Chain A
Amino acid sequence: MKWLDDMMEQGARGLARRSSRRSFMARLAVLIAGGAASVPLLPVARGSEHEPEIALDADPGDPTSCEYWRYCAVDGFLCACCGGTQSSCPPGTQMSPVTWIGTCRNPADDQDYIISYNDCCGKSACGACNCNRNEGDMPIYRPQLSNAYNWCLGTDSAFYNCSTSRVIGVARKS
């Protein structure tokens, strides 16, 4: 995904960086109590607070946690929290064929995998488990690296619902 969640998330992360965790959470609580403007912050806290359930298998981790290995470059609401999974869309949505790509290391086999972050589109924002970073984010003149855009392109509707993180294959050095 992209852009939808950015605005509140940046505020939250900026504050977190410059405050003690305790004061940040206190501030978050005030914002949540404060009304509608705080609504987008809730999934931010929920997504990042979730304790990963590490499973000793080939695809370890909790797909509803922002810490899950495939989410190294994800930006949006996690489909695993929205009625889909880490690789499938929620019912009634449509998967965007146009994606951006990340390379994430799987802790199970210590190999780098190419991950395709296909958006699920056609309904408005799911709102749960926001997982969002700006590391490596570039301005709009480098769209393939810009999270300011909504990437629901090539779908029947441009409305963004959530993001998947599909394994495409092992990244091999040529």
Chain B
Amino acid sequence: MSFSRAFATALLLAAGSAVADLPPDKMGEIGTLPETWPPHWIIAHDVSYSHIRDGKSFVLDLDADSIGQQFKGMVNSSFAANFVQATTRPELYLAETFYSRGTRGERLDVLTIYDKRTLAPLGEVILEANQRAFIIPQRNLMKLTGDESLILVYNFSPAMSVSIVDAVGRKSLGTLPTPGCAGIFPTGTRGFSALCGDGSLYTANLDKSGKVASSSRSDVFFDVQDDPLMEQPAWIDGRAYFPSYQGNVVPVDFSGDKPVIGEPWSLLDDDTAGWRPGGLVPTAEDANGRMYVTMHPEGGDGTHKDPGLEVWVFDPVKQERLARLPLQVPGLSIALTRDKEQSLLIVTTVEMKLDVYDAASGELRRTLDNFGQLTPIIVFGAR
């Protein structure tokens, strides 16, 4: 510091500052989140395609204008993790796989319970089967039972099975083989169903200890070769609406202990004959009972994972299309917020950004980008 500057500073100090000094910041302050997350918060699960050991799930506020306000926190989600959130307690669940030497060594499948208020682990359960299925993340690979007492994780070794975890007692209850049947579709109070390779449903109702209390197998109800059902239905009031490759829908009522399979109907009409559902997470639902499906034109063999150019909105009870929402950028996955009045549609675009639309008007509200994402291919509205 030069003499003249030091002199000037001394004069200023002597005269006294008109502005109060900044108080020292506290050491070690850590942010927290509310127990119930606002309806416009989302969890964006980034499988981190080319670096899947370092997958992440971002907690984001869709109403905020700047990244500092949008980004609420994150949890790690290693190796195509499975994610599910409870509604009756402030907990998140992530099933992950780790190797003791990163990409090699001993394998360890772990279900971690996170506190929504701190995003810190509350506990963990070792998934003893060590056979968690590695699949592009979707919503039906890990689920809570209807009473939220059990967590079910789909396994593939390539034998198919389900790991059963006591969500409250935080302990493993074993593994149930589901030969030839995949996915987890919660059924009744404490059961689940799985779609089988012959076009039927397997259903198991479990007791509190995770043992099978009863099980059943439905008749074959769809054609697995010519018009297979996508394994990703929209869920409304205990009913699942499965779209098919050819653009039909099969409703299945999972609210009781035994699934009730409804009559198929078509998403298409004479003007939209060539359109097909497609994408990575092609269906979603809102709190008003509407079903959303990503749709693309000129569909055919092999287009069932193509991005949607539009999202179609249906009343699945009346089997009526309510709206066609054109997307600004083609979308691979969709989700909706949980609120009824200002529901937002979130679209993972082919550019790997999140476009947020007003679900009622179809107006693009904002695009979320540069929040550290690589491939945020599945989004969950906060529940």
Contacts and interface: CB of A to CB of B under 8 A. Distances in A.
B351 A140 contact: no
Interface string A18-56: 100000000000010010111110000000000000000
B96 interface: no
Tell me which of A37, A124, A149 has the highest count of chain B C-beta atoms within 10 A of its own C-beta: A37
Which of A3, A18, A139 gathers the greatest number of chain B CB atoms within 10 Å?
A139
A108 interface: no
A6 B47 CA distance: 12
A157 to B, nearest CB: 5
Contact of A139 (B133, B134, B231, B303): B231
Interface residues of A, number: 46
Given A37-B352, A137-B305, A143 B156 contact: yes
A40 B48 CA distance: 11
B156 A7 contact: no
A153 B158 contact: yes
B53 interface: yes
Interface string A136-155: 11111111000011101100
B306 A149 contact: no
Contacts of B156: 143, 149, 153
A3 B134 contact: yes
A12 B301 CA distance: 17
Interface class of chain A by DSSP: loop
B224 A138 contact: yes
A142 B297 CA distance: 26
Given A15-B350, A34-B351, A153-B157, A140 B182 contact: yes
Contacts, number: 148
B230 interface: yes
A4 B303 contact: no
Contacts of A31: 351
Interface string B26-60: 00000000000000000000010111110000000
Interface in B302-353: 302-307, 309, 330, 332, 350-353
Interface stretch (B119-127, B168-176, B372-380): B372-380
Contact of B307 (A15, A127, A137, A139): A15
B59 to A, nearest CB: 20
Nearest to A161: B103
A8 B228 contact: no
B195 A122 contact: no
A13 B301 CA distance: 13
A149 B107 contact: no
A157 B97 CA distance: 11
A134 B230 contact: no
Nearest to B200: A141
A141 B374 contact: no
A111 interface: no
A18 B298 contact: yes
A125 to B, nearest CB: 6
Contacts of B284: none
B134 A149 contact: yes
Nearest to B194: A141
B134 A158 contact: yes
B332 A10 contact: yes
A152 B80 CA distance: 14
Nearest to A10: B305
Nearest to A143: B158
A68 to B, nearest CB: 19
B133 A149 contact: yes
Nearest to B232: A139
B227 to A, nearest CB: 11
B135 A136 contact: no
B238 interface: no
Nearest to B48: A36
B135 A149 contact: yes
Contact of B375 (A14, A37, A159): A37
Contacts of A17: 298, 303, 306
B183 A14 contact: no
Contacts of B134: 3, 149-150, 152, 158
Nearest to B376: A37
A11 B49 contact: no
A166 interface: no
Contacts of B350: 8, 11-12, 14-15
8 contacts: A7-B136, A37-B375, A123-B103, A134-B303, A134-B304, A137-B305, A141-B194, A141-B197
Given A8-B350, A124-B50, A158-B107, 7 more contacts: A14-B307, A36-B374, A37-B375, A137-B305, A143-B182, A153-B156, A156-B104
